[in-house]
Amino acid sequence: MTISLPLTSTRLGLPGRYYTDPDFYQRELKTVWRSTWQWVGRLEDLRNSGDYLTTILGEEPIFVVKNAEGELLAMHNVCPHRGARLLPEKQGSCKFLQCPYHAWTFDLEGKLLAVSQPKWFPDLDKSSVRLARARVASWGGFVFINPDPEGESLAEYLAGYPEYLGGWPHRWEELREVARTVYEEPINWKFIVENYVEDYHFATAHAGSLVPLFDVQNIRTTPTGRHIPILVPYTPEPPADPAFLKHWEADVPSYQGFIFPNMMINTGKNGCSVWQVTALGPERSRLETVTYQTPAQYAADPYVPESWQQVMEEDFSVCRLLQRGIGSRAYQVRALAGEHELGVAHFHQVLAQYL
């Protein structure tokens, strides 16, 4: 199947097959998920030598570990002998890396130290065997991995986005995790991104939750490079839910936005939440939401995870409807809603550049 995106107009949606087709999903795995910088965790998760985090990027298992010199290294989480997963846990600490299948052992640099039954491998040159590397870098305490060993740096990739987030009057490096929730939904990952980067749905999907809090007509979506900063003015008016009001400051907008391909950041008075969507198949994805607060924010107002459940369910509800209907022959591509779906159009353009 020939795969291309319809970019004759930047104001059109995508054909339905791009949200259901297995071939298109495989193309995304190869060209998007395996060649972009993606968030994996925080520096405080990797404090000591041997601390590690694992992740899956485009069905590619990868981990980041702190070596004895305090340097972060990213490697493919696969034993080169038979392909077994080396580190099965999400997070942990180790002195060395040992395959659970045949006990091949590697140091924290990925070099082969020993094999079980070495007499069975008379021609093996251990110095020629090492774990495949990926790239790792950090910004604001956030750790990113890129499976592609070549290409631009993280600073080049983010291209001005850190300066935008610098408007939030708190130190990103001081953030500490206070809550984490994982959702799995029968929804194509692009629908979750598109729903996040547009505000056209607010009046219907979030009429009783977000609309009373935000000045929806003055939300500023300003695509920058690959990414989409979204500045959301805060204008609480009755009947805004009191449980939400304490999260926002009237004179400080919410610095929100999307970092391609799958990271979403939301700031508020008492903390910051980061969302990451991961494709699990053509019609299934995982959304992980992590909330962070500085020590001062936590002491003044500890975050209550339940406060955002209504908004999350409102978004999932409409995205499920999209997935159920998009495969219909009756669906036709239509124009997007100007500046209120500008983020959707930009996301499609960037996606097309990778495909």
Residue 79's pLDDT is what? 96
Question: Which pTM was predicted?
Answer: 0.89
Residue 196's pLDDT is what? 92
Domain range 164-354, CATH class: alpha beta
Residue 8's pLDDT is what? 44
Please give the CATH topology (third level) of the domain spanning 38-150.
Rieske Iron-sulfur Protein (2.102.10)
Q: Where are the domains of the chain?
A: 38-150, 164-354
Residue 239's pLDDT is what? 47
pLDDT of the chain, 355 residues: tens digit per residue: 444 555 444 577 888 999 999 999 999 999 999 999 999 999 999 999 999 999 999 889 999 999 999 999 999 999 999 999 999 888 999 999 999 999 999 999 999 999 999 899 999 988 999 999 999 999 999 999 999 988 899 999 998 899 999 888 888 999 999 999 999 999 999 999 999 998 777 677 676 666 667 777 788 888 988 999 998 887 756 545 565 555 556 567 888 999 999 999 999 888 899 999 999 999 999 999 999 999 998 998 888 776 678 888 888 988 999 899 988 888 887 777 777 778 889 999 999 999 8
Residue 120's pLDDT is what? 92
Residue 232's pLDDT is what? 86
Q: pLDDT, tens digit, for every residue of 133-149?
A: 999 999 999 999 999 98
The Cα–Cα gap between 310 and 322 comes to 19
Residue 11's pLDDT is what? 76
